[in-house]
Structure 1
Amino acid sequence: MTVLLIEDEEPALAQLRRFVLQYNPAAQVVGECQQVSEAVDFLRTHPAPDLILSDIELLDGNVFGLFGQVAVSSPVVFITAYDSFLVEAFAQNGIGYVLKPVQYAEFAAALQKFERLRQSFQGPALAALTAAYAAPAPRYKQRLLSKGRTGLSLLDVADVAYIQLRNGIAHAVDGQGRAFPLNESLSQLEAQLDPAAFFRLNRAELVRLGAIERLEPYFNDTLVVHLRGLAVTLTSSTHRTPELRKWVAG
């Protein structure tokens, strides 16, 4: 059994590594990633592992952004401190959902489920299952719904310049600087919007590619993002800057 670990906290990563070998001493941990970008690079350049064990909230954003950037054929057991991502998890190759702090019995039960499924799907059935995982094209939001004092407003995502957390609430800001409060969290929006069009700059902001006028180098290897027609500037976090450069360059 080959396993890819996706986890940004070293103690949790070490625990997963230990639990995998405790469950199956012959298992091979073929990769360890702490960011979505690292997982994308790994899956693009390595054979698909038998199983992926993944946290959801990572250093550079929500792991669900992974599925919009690369075809993932491996089943995934999600291991997270949050119980609010069940629907997204099982819509994205999920076969198990284990809450932190992880207990070995729950971890082992998830891997036993994986082995039962793997034994059930052999030969043509396994090929059909793999194809079913990889075949569906991602469907991304085309409109955002905002509830304000005057009622509900519909906002086309093509009109959004950026999305920003304000007092814990995500707001979509259009090209005229008008802000629209949203019900979704920033992580949920990141998973629901096309990753070719929207990028997570930091823990509080997403930006749309078409709204960017230019990028300006800033201190500590960050970039200031200047927006078309808006006096507002956004700033990438240090660990997101390399991926931002790649994303802008296409």
Structure 2
Amino acid sequence: MNAVIIEDEEFASKRLARLIGELAPEIEISAQLSSVESGSAWFSQNTPPDLIFLDIQLNDGYGFDILDNLEDHPPVIFTTAYNEYAVRGFKYNGLDYLLKPIVKADLRTALDKFRKTSTNNEGFSELKFERMKQLFQKEYKHRFMVKVGNQFRSFDVDDIAYFKSNEGLIYLHTHTAQSYPIEYSIDQLENILNPIHFFRINRKFMVSVKAVIEIHTYFNSRLLLKLKPREETQVIVSRERTTNFKRWLDM
């Protein structure tokens, strides 16, 4: 039995492959692909696997784009970073899923379900895929326009280390230690930024994974972070967000 992993985060792909090896050693990973382009090319040149692990949102499109080009396909276990309400809709459609960051127990359950239903592909109808596309095809923000003096500059989200609320304003902080006010709230940023790359740690900070360079335990079950570029004030992960923050970093 073999499977293909299509995931644009290299670390997440390797971790998923390792977990599959631990939980289902009978499944051989035929390929680990990272984009719609590479996925489409692989399927055009190879026999379809028994199972596909498919990231819903890839850097160059959606995982559904790969499936659209196939006349027929095997069962799919989707991976997604979307919130629990969207996942409920996903589950209602009768498809397997893994919510990022992937938990070993969830993967075990999905694999058990696949083993039981591998001979029945009824749940993967075209109608259900269409519903899933409508549910999950959400565009995250790629750039921010900021005013610098009498001019405007555009920053890619990859350039941004973290966002900070200070005296009623939200500031964008770049990896090169630049800071600019923007016209967004932290609540708005949480909805428009890709949750794979940014995490809201408390009421004032939303950080990128690349900005976190040290993590220390802190009293009252919280965490103290060291960010790059350096932040003068203490950056603390609130107690109610600590567990999800650890899962976010461990994906």
Q: What's the TM-score, normalizing by structure 2?
A: 0.48
Q: What's the TM-score, normalizing by structure 1?
A: 0.48
